[in-house]
Structures are given as structure tokens and as C-alpha cells.
Amino acid sequence: MTAAAATAIAAAGASLPAVALAQAAAPAQAPGFYRYKVGDMTVTAIQDGFFRRPLEGFIRNAELPAVQAAMASAFLSTSAVEISFTTMVVQNGSQITVLDTGNGDSGAPTSGLWMRNFRAAGYTPEQVTRVIFSHFHGDHINGLRLKDGTLTFPNAEILVPAPEWAFWMDEARMGAAPEAMRGAFAAVRRVFAPIASNVKQFQPGAEVAPGITSTAAFGHTPGHCVFMISSGTGKLMFMADTTNHPALFVRNPDWSAVFDMDADVARATRRRMLDMVAAEKTQVHFYHAPFPATGFIAKAGNGFELIPVQWTSSV
């Protein structure tokens, strides 16, 4: 555009009635990132939007009225639950680590905001040195590769839990999987098969990067892992899908979401992990907690409560 054209447009704008100016404003939500420190590391929660699903049929072992009562007590809808997706970027000096990648362009229309929010946070995909996955459900892995095949992070090392890889990449298991599971197996292959030889598997318990240590938290999936992020006295536990929406499953840790592949193991893991972070007052991040998806766990009745951190403007 020439300077003269720009001036002409600006002048036209200045002469628009106040109505037009006002209605041009107030478009989108604020960028969905939230930044805080863990010791010397800088953590940025990056939002990927949400998926809205009916409440009915969501929980295997609770009656709908009980589930609706839990939602109502959190002032949430009693017909549908909005499951949000919040991944994490950990910046440690020159190392930029992404934990789980969101839905990419493969999720619900209300998701797929990750890249916009990641760029709004000041990062570019080329800067990412490492991507670590908690498990292989589509809402965690699809962001690694667009539908057209493009890899999102061209310079990143890819790290995955060995038992998760063993489960999903097993040809015989895929062949024997029920129809309802075929899509999940196919998603894993779509994302990882072309780079299989470059993916690094880690054993749960291993330190996967300086200050980022994995812990087995099986049940949600066969190789589901969580990660302790430590720097000096700073600690943060990336709890991944140890619970789905906290208003339901932190409050009622014995409830089982349909996404838990082994409900009994997942329930035992959830209790154990929540007990631990409550006792140690460890700051936590849940992938499906309301953005910015971080807070602390307190005991409450027979369950727990997630107490969000106070939002701060100062990083």
C-alpha cells in the first residue's frame, strides 16, 4: 500500500460514525497463553481451545443426576461439559520444550488455536528443541503433524514413553483392536510412522530433559506418564490426563471418564497422585483443567479440590 493510500484510508476511518468504529472493535478472546516461573525456568501454558460433549455417557460409574449436581456446584452446564486443552512450553535457557501438542488441525472446530497462541506468546515452531508426549491420544499428539503431512517442529527431538509406544505401535494389537479403537491406532501411525526411526523412547522414571523427570501414571492409557519440572526450589507437576475436568474428577477421583482405557488402574493412579501433590503442596498443571490449567490440590471430603493460582501480570 502507498503512503497516500494509507492516509486516505485513515482519513476515511476518522470520518466514520462512532457506531462503525465501535462495532469494529471487540472481536476475539485474549490470546490463550499464561506465563509463570518455576525456579529459573519460564513456563508458558498454551491453550488449544475446547471440545464440548454431552454430559450423559461421559462417566462410566456415576448416575447422571450425581454428575449434574457436581457440575451445578461448580456453576457449570448440567447438559454438556467443555473439555479444554492446555499444553505447556518450558523454556530453560536455550532449551524450549513442548509438553503435548494439542489437536493441530484434526480436532473439533472449537480447538486448533494452539499455533496462534504459541506465536502470540513470542515463540516460533523452529525454536522448539524438544517435544515430550505424556501419551498418544489424538488431542495430545495431532498437533505434531498437520493433516497435509507437515511436521510442526522441524528442529525438535521427539520423546515418548516406551510403554506407550510399545502399546500403540504393536501391529498385532492394532489388528485385534475393536472397531471403536481403530481410529486411535490410525492417528498414532499418521503422526509417528514417518518419523518412527527418529523418535526417542524413554522409560517412565527417566529424566527426559534437564529438570524434567517422567513418572509412570498408567491407566488413562497403558503408558501414560506425568512429568515433574524442577528448578532450584521451584517445582511443577505436569499431570497430563491423570484427571479430566477437575470439577468432576478432582472432586470425585473414583469417577471414571470414558477416555480412561483401564478404569481401575486409572482410578488408583489418580488417588495416589492427588494424595501426593496434596501432601507435598506441589503446584500442578492438568491438561484438561480450565485455562490457565494450574493450581494446587487440597483435600476436600472424600476427594480433592483444585485451587487455581492467582493470575498475575508479572512473570
* Residues in a beta bridge with 214: 227
Q: Are 226 and 235 in contact (CB under 8 A)?
A: no
Among 31, 39, 125, 234, binds a second copy (CB under 8 A): 31
Q: CA–CA separation, 176 vs 220, rounded Å?
A: 20
Q: Residue from 23, 61, 79, 203 that binds a second copy (CB under 8 A)?
A: 23
Of 121-140, binders to a second copy (CB under 8 A) are 121-124, 126-127, 129
The set of residues, in sequence order, having a beta carbon less than 8 Å from that of 188 and lying 6+ positions away, is: 136, 141, 168, 169
Nearer to a second copy, 166 or 300 (CB): 300
**What's CA 104's distance to the chain center, in Å?**
12
Residue 30 within binding range of a second copy, rule CB under 8 A: yes
Taking the complex as a whole, how short is the minimal distance between the CB of residue 24 and a second copy, in angstroms? 8
Nearer to a second copy (CB atom), residue 61 or residue 155: 155
- Site size with a second copy, rule: CB under 8 A: 61
Q: Is 13 in the site for a second copy (CB under 8 A)?
A: no
Q: Which of residues 169-208 bind a second copy (CB under 8 A)?
A: none
CA angle (50, 165, 111) in 5-degree steps = 10
CB 122 within 8 A of CB 147: no
In the list 5, 11, 12, 25, the residue contacting a second copy (rule: CB under 8 A) is 25
Cell of 29: 478472546
Question: By rule CB under 8 A, what string of x and - marks binding of each residue 82-121 to a second copy?
Answer: x-x------x-xxxx-------------x--x------xx
Of the candidates 64, 228, 268, 309, which one interacts with a second copy according to CB under 8 A?
309
Decide: is 75 part of the binding site for a second copy (CB under 8 A). Answer: yes
Which of 103, 240, 292, 302 contacts a second copy by CB under 8 A?
292
Q: Which residues in the 211-250 window bind a second copy by CB under 8 A?
A: none
Q: Determine if 28 is a binding residue for a second copy (CB under 8 A).
A: yes
Angle (CA) 139-142-144 rounded to 5° is 130
Rg over alpha carbons for the chain, rounded to the nearest Å, is 21
Assess contact for 138 and 192: CB atoms under 8 A.
no
Question: What is the per-residue binding string for a second copy in 268-287, x denoting contact by CB under 8 A?
Answer: -------------x------
* Measured distance CA(203)–CA(208) in Å, rounded: 9
Q: Supply 256's cell numbers.
A: 471414571
As measured in angstroms, the least distance from the Cβ of 195 to a second copy is: 20
Residue whose C-alpha is closest to residue 242's, from 220, 216, 212: 220
In the complex, minimum distance from the CB of residue 7 to a second copy, in angstroms, rounded to a whole number: 18
> C-alpha grid cell for residue 82?
467443555
Tell which positions 146-165 bind a second copy, by CB under 8 A. Answer: 155
Whole-number Cα distances in Å, 54 to 51, 58, 80, 87, 237? 10, 7, 4, 23, 29
Q: Is 272 left (phi over 0), alpha (psi -120 to 50) or beta?
A: alpha
User: What is the contact surface with a second copy in residues (CB under 8 A)?
Assistant: 17-19, 21-35, 42, 44, 47, 49-50, 73-76, 82, 84, 91, 93-96, 110, 113, 120-124, 126-127, 129, 155, 281, 290-292, 295-296, 298, 307-315
